[in-house]
Amino acid sequence: MSLHGKISSLVESKRDASIQLSDAIWAVPELHFQEKKSVQYMKAALEKEGFVTEIGIAGLDTALVGTYGSGKPVIAFLGEYDALPGLSQKGGATHHEPLEDGGSGHGCGHNLLGTGAFAAAVAVKDYLEQNNQSATIRFYGCPAEENGSGKAFMAKAGIFDDVDIAISWHPGTFTSVMTCTSLANYAATFKFTGKSAHAAAAPHLGRSALDAVELMNVGVNYLREHIIPEARVHYAVTNTGGTSPNVVQPYAEVTYLVRAPKKHQVQEIYQRVVNIAKGATMMTETSLEIAFEGAASNLIPNKTLYDAMQKQIIDLGVPTYTSEDEQHAQAIFNTFTPEIQASSLVGLKKEDVVQLQGKVIANHIPSVLPEFILGGSTDVGDVSWNVPTVQCTTVCMALGTPLHTWQVVSQGVMPIAHKGMLQAAKIMACTAVDLIDNPALIEEAKKEWQERLDGETYVSLIPEGTKPPKF
């Protein structure tokens, strides 16, 4: 039996357990740094498979590492399990139907992401046992990818320092190796304090913190013209200081997220945002406190690794989809606006568009794209600065499905999602075994990684002395 046949058999032999684990995490959607039930589910599953576990690593209460085996190479599988606020949704529903008003939901598929990485680690463990081979297999349970960048804290603490290769994936609408880099980011909350007063009887005695927030926002919006076009600056007013217009607001907050292709660009733009905030305090005679919220480095791609993973993707092929899968995907697709539907194949090569035109499930593996800059950010970037890293995506939802939506949550417990999760496990496990069997490939990946860093060493964007929040 081929490697692909052996790994597929191992993954499929534990199919039901993997699906149950994913669905259990889906059912308890927990926000960043609060994944207390989810991490315990992962811990129990790892220990059942013979992994030695440690919880609370790098000072993160909901971070986990499970280890099997010994010696070189050390292969890391990266898992996540945090949810998003406001995306509660009934599983399988083809219309918006929250299970809890204002509740959380797995709108980025991290219930699948964590379990798929776990299933891959277990498959490699089983393969090594069957073939009397040695290596160290680690599963890293990484909290707070969405907000807080848990992996950045883990990387800063040095827990990836002895890893040879890191492997991960993300649920998506295509099956493809990831050839992209990503935007580095930095998030902070600007807390303004002024002085309250009666807005009519004594406005001259007040100093409005809300005015400071608004002036800061105006200043940053003018800044946009004078930063590099690849950069992004987002903000949300998170505390207006009150609801009465007849009170000068003594306290107000705004949270900013700055993104750019390189870390030094993020730092430069962020400092200009800070200067604008200080200017707002001068204009309003208020005071300012800045609270760090999270940061992530840009992703370092590795062609050696993504070429190796792409070979596994092609050899494994794609799952078989039933008429029920197609019908549900069509119903989900019908909930999208015409604009979203029309953009479902954007970015693909012409020959791939021809293959997928008119379909709602991508049952065709598209061509590998040239390296590009992903519009978003990921804390996997911090891992990639410390160890050669590779990722893929697999089909877990209907074509065109935007992440961070109720439609992702709905599909997260459906067969299409389970098939994609198990497919990702097979791809990652086959890639890991191929690397274990070919040490020269690992060395080639490390050489390329060093060349891409070009002498630059990893420096975390997290300020010194910053500790993750406790809940």
- What are the pLDDT digits (tens) for 153-169? 999 999 999 999 999 99
Distance of alpha carbon 211 from alpha carbon 105, whole angstroms: 34
pLDDT of residue 376: 87
Structure tokens that stand for 242 in this block: 């009150």
CA-CA distance, 359 to 69, in Å (whole number)?
44
Residue 335 has pLDDT above 90, yes or no: yes
Residue 65 and residue 53 in contact, taking contact as beta carbons nearer than 8 Å: yes
User: Where residue 151 falls among pLDDT bands split at 50, 70, 90?
Assistant: very high
pLDDT for res 463: 94
Place 200 in a pLDDT band, splitting at 50, 70 and 90.
Answer: very high
Mean pLDDT of the chain, nearest integer: 96
Phi, psi of 134 (to 5 degrees): -120, 145
pLDDT at 39: 98
Tens-digit pLDDT profile for residues 246-284? 999 999 999 999 999 999 999 999 999 999 999 999 999
Given this model, what pLDDT does residue 148 score?
A: 87
What is the arithmetic mean of pLDDT over 418-437? Answer: 98
pLDDT of residue 381: 97
Q: What is the rounded CA–CA span in Å between residue 86 and residue 13?
A: 36
The phi and psi torsions of 253 (rounded to 5 degrees) equal: -135, 150
Among 404, 393, 360, smallest CA distance to 89 is for: 404
pLDDT at 3 (0 to 100): 86
The pLDDT value recorded for residue 243 is 92
CA distance 310 to 51: 28
Inform me whether the pLDDT recorded for 470 exceeds 90.
no
Domains of the chain: 3-181+298-453 (3.40.630.10), 184-296 (3.30.70.360)
- Scored b (16 or more CB within 10 A) or e, 299-334 reads bbbbbbbbebbbebbeebebbebeeebbebbebbbe
Nearest to 118, CA basis, from 189, 68, 46: 46
With b meaning 16 or more CB within 10 Å and e meaning fewer, what string describes 366-396? bebeeeeebeebbbbbbbbbbbbbbbbbbbb
Reported confidence tier of residue 363, pLDDT bands at 50, 70, 90: very high
10 Å CB burial of residue 339 (0-12, 13-18, 19+) is exposed
pLDDT above 90 for 468: no
Per residue in 221-230, pLDDT tens?
999 999 999 9
Mean pLDDT throughout 184-192? 97
Token reading at 281 = 């305090």
Find out whether 436 and 332 touch, Cβ atoms under 8 Å.
no
Tokens of 106: 């797995």
Residue 145 to residues 49, 54, 168, 339, 361, Cα–Cα distance (Å) = 25, 19, 13, 28, 27
pLDDT at 16 over 80: yes
- Residue 269's pLDDT is 98
Residue 323: closest CA among 311, 313, 331: 331
pLDDT for residue 471? 85
With CA atoms as reference, report the closest residue to 187 among 275, 104, 255. 255
C-alpha–C-alpha distance, residues 83 and 406, integer Å: 12
Which tens digit of pLDDT belongs to each residue from 280-309?
A: 999 999 999 999 999 999 999 999 999 999
pLDDT band at 109 (very low <50, low <70, confident <90, very high): very high
- The torsion angles phi and psi of 116, rounded to 5 degrees, stand at -60, -45
Percent of the chain with pLDDT over 90: 96
pLDDT tens readout for residues 21-80: 999 999 999 999 999 999 999 999 999 999 999 999 999 999 999 999 999 999 999 999
Answer whether residue 186 shows pLDDT above 80.
yes
As to burial, measured by CB atoms within 10 angstroms (0-12 exposed, 13-18 middle, 19+ buried), residue 464 is exposed
Band the pLDDT of 375: cuts 50, 70, 90.
confident
In this structure, what token pair is assigned to residue 56? 């609370």
Strand partners, 169: 392
